[in-house]
Amino acid sequence: MSDLIQPRTLKGFRDYLPNTMMAREQLVETARRVYRSYGFSPIDTPALEYAEILTGKGGDESDKQLYRFTDHGGRDVAMRFDLTVPLARFAAQYSQQLGTPFKRYHIATVWRGENTQKGRYREFMQCDFDTIGTESNAADIEALLVIHDLMEAIGVAFSNGDLGFGIRVNNRLVLNGLLEKQGLQEQSVGVLRSLDKLPKIGREKVIAEMTEHVGATAEQANSVIDLAELTGETGDVLNSLETMLSGSEVGQLGVARLRELFSACLTAGIPSERIGLDLSIARGLDYYTGTIYETFLTDMPNIGSVCSGGRYDNLAGLFTNEKLPGIGASLGLDRLLAALELMEKVQTASTPAEIFIPQFDADRLGEYLKLARELRAEGFTVEVYPEAKPLKKQLKYCDKKGHRVAIIAGGNEFKAGVWQVKNLQVRGEQSDVSGANLAEHLRSLLR
């Protein structure tokens, strides 16, 4: 039997074992519930598309990450590397049929053949929501509420309360206003890329980069960083900005939109400590044109933003002449999952079943199965062991899996109409419970 194939996965790919997968499902379910509660509708698109669709006209860095090949029909195809390009294609194809504004979420796997490094995989899930077809600031404000309520719901799901997070907001119009006033529009991409490095490399190195490589004067570079580093009470900072950007129409519009955003979020009930203006975030990507968001975990700022996004002017210019502005954000599912594991917020159980019923008496299999079905109808999750092995062996199994309660019944219990209920969370705690009281007793142990 030397002919066996070695069971293994490809480099950069991973299997999800039950306890990690249960945590991933809980994250996905939470995101889906929050997105739906705001009226975002689910869509899905194929994993494989024409390579032309995914690469657009461009062809540099991102091409190399593509899993691209020729299919049986001779077509040049590739696996999607994000959910934004498929959304652009989708929006161009159906916007007439679906109408705008169009609010969608999309939770799906993407693939990038990039070099693997610490915790980065070649296959991972994205978890995006977007509102397309409106320039209204109400959609920007709503996106911030969605991020807030999502992070709060994840805290409730994994931490019985507050996970500890802050959302940082900026508006590219403010930065554009400053660049305009400083005559730096032409160098804006370089300036913003450098600015993004501020938290990592510090003021002096950013200034050096801007003056040596981007073509700004020291004075210009300093003024950009002065603005980025403005801190204080949000209202005060916005007032200072208004003065600094006097004469710049885009700059003033940016300030006005930020002002409305903070005001409406507070009215809508977001605690002020959870949202902050941070003029240093620029999100280097070229396509952001307005509000931008980043979200940090209070206890783990170094893992970076776990939910980011922003406003863009023109989603689907590659595919249609219809101008489709929009706003959205993406939950960094795998990054957050890794953080939750580090914070020990992921449960260790590897079964979704709370209750374990051993087969104490093989002749009563039908009755054990009946009891389990009755408890499922009451909303419990219940596993019946498939073999009538010695009780000790069966209890060893459930100890390994992490069930929380065991219900044991043999001939005596069936005769007396009572069940022996073991609370597996507290060593030695067990009681005899009559059938009529069973569901209530279990609720008291489990809820």
Tell me how far apart the alpha carbons of residues 149 and 328 are, in angstroms, rounded to a whole number.
15
Nearer to its own copies, 9 or 243 (CB): 9
CA-based nearest residue to 129, from 49, 27, 257, 41:
41
Q: How far is the CB of 25 from its own copies (least distance, A)?
A: 6
Element spanning 270, H or E: none
Q: How far is the CB of 305 from its own copies (least distance, A)?
A: 23
Q: How far is the CB of 252 from its own copies (least distance, A)?
A: 19
Tell me how far apart the alpha carbons of residues 59 and 68 are, in angstroms, rounded to a whole number.
13
Give the C-alpha distances (Å, rounded to integers) separating 315 from 130, 138, 218, 310, 312.
Answer: 11, 18, 35, 12, 7
Nearer to its own copies, 208 or 388 (CB): 388
CA-based nearest residue to 237, from 222, 219, 255, 263:
255
Nearer to its own copies, 143 or 214 (CB): 143
Q: What is the CB neighbour count within 10 angstroms for residue 153?
A: 18
Nearer to its own copies, 87 or 207 (CB): 87
Q: How far is the CB of 46 from its own copies (least distance, A)?
A: 4
Nearer to its own copies, 56 or 166 (CB): 56
Tell me how far apart the alpha carbons of residues 130 and 312 are, in angstroms, rounded to a whole number.
10
Q: How far is the CB of 232 from its own copies (least distance, A)?
A: 23
Residue 236 exposed, middle or buried by CB count within 10 Å (0-12, 13-18, 19+) = exposed
Strand partners, 171: 291
Lookup result for tokens 């489709």 = 324
What DSSP character marks residue 274? Answer: G
CA-based nearest residue to 282, from 149, 184, 208:
184
Q: How far is the CB of 179 from its own copies (least distance, A)?
A: 28
Q: How far is the CB of 373 from its own copies (least distance, A)?
A: 6
Q: What is the CB neighbour count within 10 angstroms for residue 213?
A: 12
Nearer to its own copies, 75 or 213 (CB): 75
Nearer to its own copies, 123 or 196 (CB): 123
